[in-house]
Chain A
Amino acid sequence: MSEAGTQIGIARLRAAAVLGHGRGIDEATVRAALADVPDPELPTLSVVDLGIVHRVTIAPADGSIRVEILPTFVGCPALELIKAAIATRIAAFGRPVEVVATFEVPWTSERISPAGRAALEAAGIAPPGPTTQATLIDLEARVPCPHCGSRRTRLDNAFGPTQCRTIRYCTDCRQPFEAIKPV
């Protein structure tokens, strides 16, 4: 079994032990469980910290659980993996589960939680700078370097190794680094 599989297995046992099988489950319980699900491209972040969990609904009739998530990018190739990981985790509650993607509200990089921003920084990826409604991207935004903390950094490439990242360069410690794209 893979490491992720083992962790999901452990999480399932823990959920069953703490919560009882199928009793007393509410939205907060489900959201707490989702904090165990890592983002596949940024595994130090949970899907909750990433801000993609939009709505959790528990049907009064049969107790089935529906989770609506917001894709970070329209063409995010990790989306199906994320949906599967969420479905697997929520299956620990022993109820029917449905995970769907929606654009009801756009995901923006402002949705990353303070804990998520700290986790990114610890992984050497700069948290996103501020977003703006303006048509132009703020090329002058001073994104701090995750290695040395300097604000003397510049955008090297608005595009990076994944759709949600840019490549920046720190002129003090002379290291390139990745930063989450403000969107």
Chain B
Amino acid sequence: MTATAALPTTALAGLLLAMADDEFVIGFSDSEWTGIAPLLEEDVAMSSLAQDEIGHAAALYGLLAELTATDPDAIAYDREPGEYRHCRLLDHGRGDWAMTIARRYLYDTADSVRLDALVGGSWTPLAELVGKLVREERYHLMHAGTWLDRLARTDGEARDRLLAALADLGPDAATVFTPLPDEPALLDAGIIAADSAELERRWRAAIAPTFGRLDLPMPPAAREPERGRQDHGQEFRWLWGEFTMVRRSDPGAIW
């Protein structure tokens, strides 16, 4: 790694916040299945996945807090809904099982491409964490891929619901690759290996064979490419109310 003086702190903080908010929001959304998943095994799986993602978020908020000398819990819980920087794909709530599987598949495949571009990056704390994350995310990819396959190949209600979910999520799928603030600085510093446009190309190439095999429509381009991590809607406001409820009930409580 080059001298600390050259570290593009603002751009790096933007990257960490986007990644952490993504993991945090999908983790909380998935935890909505705890107790009510369609199968007992999926109750266990979604709860474990949610725990993984919230753990990843905590680690990323931790790096961000060290970088900016703030408190990770304050970043996670004390912002207004409009200040979160997760992608719009994750603004879509839990929905039905097909919606959850479609959202997970689109996000996990995109997250995987993003993580691969961070492996071996020049900022050691993130590169080391990513080296660990990719090992865990493989299980998430397998889970989402298995269910996508199953729903897509079961004609009737399963496939119909999956197609409806993909139609709903599709225009927001590529928001994972919304350009980050001052992205060129991250590339120049060697923190990430490719820009958002290139990562989106890699993601499309990665999922095209599966979408082709299952005869599913590829997600279109994002509808508002520049605003893909802003303007979170009503569904996120509800989730925010849920996950900040305990914190707001007794601000400053010591656990």
| Mutual binders A and B | yes
Count of CB-CB pairs between chains A and B under 8 Å:
72
Contacts of A181 in B (CB 8 A): 139
Produce 1/0 per residue, B31-74, CB < 8 A to A.
00000000001001101110111111011000000000000000
Interchain CB contact under 8 A, B143 and A158 = yes
Shortest distance in angstroms between B115's beta carbon and chain A's nearest beta carbon? Answer: 12
Interchain CB contact under 8 A, A75 and B52 = yes
Complex: chain A residue closest to B58, CB-CB: A75
Contacts of B142 in A (CB 8 A): 136-137, 139, 158
Verify if A57 is at the interface (C-beta below 8 Å from B).
no
Verify if A9 is at the interface (C-beta below 8 Å from B).
no
Contacts of A157 in B (CB 8 A): 41, 44-45
Contacts of B233 in A (CB 8 A): none
With beta carbons under 8 angstroms apart, the residue of B51, B128, B139 that contacts A103 is B128
Shortest distance in angstroms between B127's beta carbon and chain A's nearest beta carbon? Answer: 9
Q: A157-B45, A158-B142 are in contact. Are A76 and B135 (CB under 8 A)?
A: no
Please measure, in the bound complex, the distance between the C-alpha atom of A43 and the C-alpha atom of B128, giving whole angstroms. 28
Verify if B189 is at the interface (C-beta below 8 Å from A).
no
Q: A74-B52, A137-B142 are in contact. Are A107 and B44 (CB under 8 A)?
A: no
Complex: chain A residue closest to B48, CB-CB: A159
Verify if B235 is at the interface (C-beta below 8 Å from A).
no
Contacts of B56 in A (CB 8 A): 74-75
Interchain CB contact under 8 A, B128 and A74 = no
Main secondary structure of the interface of A (DSSP, over half): loop
Interchain CB contact under 8 A, B129 and A74 = yes
**Which of A73, A161, A183 has the most chain B CB atoms closer than 10 A to its own CB?**
A73
Verify if A104 is at the interface (C-beta below 8 Å from B).
yes
Contacts of B55 in A (CB 8 A): 73-77, 163
Please measure, in the bound complex, the distance between the C-alpha atom of A102 and the C-alpha atom of B141, giving whole angstroms. 25
Produce 1/0 per residue, B102-139, CB < 8 A to A.
00000000000000000000000000110111011011
Please measure, in the bound complex, the distance between the C-alpha atom of A135 and the C-alpha atom of B135, giving whole angstroms. 9
Contacts of B48 in A (CB 8 A): 159-160, 163
- Chain A contributes a number of interface residues (CB within 8 A of B) equal to 27
Q: A74-B132, A137-B142, A159-B139 are in contact. Are A167 and B41 (CB under 8 A)?
A: yes
Please measure, in the bound complex, the distance between the C-alpha atom of A74 and the C-alpha atom of B52, giving whole angstroms. 7
Contacts of A105 in B (CB 8 A): 131
Contacts of B136 in A (CB 8 A): 73-74, 163, 183
Verify if A108 is at the interface (C-beta below 8 Å from B).
yes
Produce 1/0 per residue, B13-30, CB < 8 A to A.
000000000000000000
Name A116-160 residues within 8 Å CB distance of B.
135-137, 139, 156-160
Residues on A close to B: CB < 8 A?
A: 71, 73-77, 102-108, 135-137, 139, 156-161, 163, 167, 181, 183
Beyond A73-B136, A136-B138, A183-B136, 9 extra complex contacts between A and B, CB < 8 Å: A74-B133, A103-B132, A157-B45, A158-B45, A158-B143, A160-B44, A161-B44, A163-B48, A183-B135
11 contacts between A and B (CB under 8 A): A75-B51, A77-B55, A103-B129, A103-B132, A106-B135, A108-B135, A137-B139, A156-B41, A163-B48, A163-B136, A183-B136
